[in-house]
Structure 1
Amino acid sequence: MSLGHALRRVVEEYPLARTEPPAGHPLAHVIRKGAPDELRRALAPLDGSFLVKGSPGRGSHWAAVPWLAVFDPAVTTSATRGYYLVYLFPAHRQAVHLSLAQGTVAAIREHGPRSGDHLRASGARLRERLSDFSDVLPVSAITLGSGGELPEGYEAAHILGLTYDLADLGDERRLRADLATGLAAYRALKARGGLELTAQRLKCQ
Structure 2
Amino acid sequence: MSLGHALRRIVEEYPLARLDPPAGHPLAAMIRRSAPDELRGALEAIDGPFLVKGSPGRGSNWAAVPWLAVFDPTVTTSATRGYYLVYLFPAHREVVHLSLAQGTVAALREHGPRAEAYLRTSGDALRTRLSDFADRLPNRSITLGSAGELPDGYEAAHILGLTYELADLGDERRLRADLAVGVAAYRALKARGGLLGLS
Please say whether Structure 1 and Structure 2 have the same fold, judged by a TM-score greater than 0.5: yes
1:99 matched residue in structure 2? 99
Cα displacement (A) at 1:10: 0.1
- 1:138 is displaced (CA, Å) by 0.2
Letter in 2 for 1:71: F
Give 1:40 deviation, angstroms.
0.2
Tell me what 2:111 maps to: 111
- Structure 2 Cα separation of the partners of residues 64 and 90 of structure 1: 8
Q: Unaligned stretches of 5+ in structure 1?
A: none
Counterpart of 1:165? 165
- Residue 16 of structure 2 is matched in structure 1 by 16
Instruction: Give the distance between the partners of 1:100 and 1:160, measured in 2 at CA.
Output: 6
SS in 2 for 1:56: strand
Residue 185 of structure 1 aligns with which residue? 185
SS of residue paired to 1:196: coil
Letter in 1 for 2:122: S
Letter in 1 for 2:107: A
Q: Partner of 1:196 in structure 2?
A: 196
Which residue does 2:149 correspond to in 1?
A: 149
Measured against aligned partners, the alpha-carbon deviations of 1:145-195 in whole angstroms (never above 9, x if no partner) come to 000000000000000000000110000000000000000000000000000
Q: Which residue of 2 aligns with 1:133?
A: 133
* Matched residue SS, 2:97: strand
Equivalent residue, structure 1, for 2:39? 39
Indicate the RMSD between aligned Cα atoms, in angstroms: 0.4
- Tell me, what secondary structure is at the counterpart of 2:176? helix
Structure 2, gaps ≥5 residues long: none
The secondary structure found in structure 2 opposite 1:66 is strand
Q: Does residue 108 of structure 2 align to residue 88 of structure 1?
A: no
- TM normalised by structure 2 equals 1.00
The answer for the alignment partner of 1:51 in structure 2 is: 51
Question: Aligned-pair distance for 1:100?
Answer: 0.1
Cα distance in structure 1, aligned partners of 2:67 and 2:25: 16
Equivalent-residue separation in structure 2 for 1:170 and 1:195 (angstroms): 35
- Please list the CA deviations of residues 61-110 of structure 1 after superposition, one character each: whole Å capped at 9, or x if unmatched: 00000000000000000000000000000000000000000000000000
Q: 1:7, CA displacement in angstroms?
A: 0.2
**For residue 28 of structure 1, what is the aligned residue in structure 2?**
28
Where does structure 1 differ by over 6 angstroms across 4 or more consecutive aligned residues? none
Find the aligned partners of 2:6 and 2:83 in 1 and give their Cα distance: 23
In 2, Cα distance between equivalents of 1:76 and 1:157:
15
* SS, match of residue 93 in structure 1: coil
Which AA in structure 2 matches 1:35?
Answer: A
Q: What TM-score does the superposition give when structure 1 sets the normalisation length?
A: 0.97
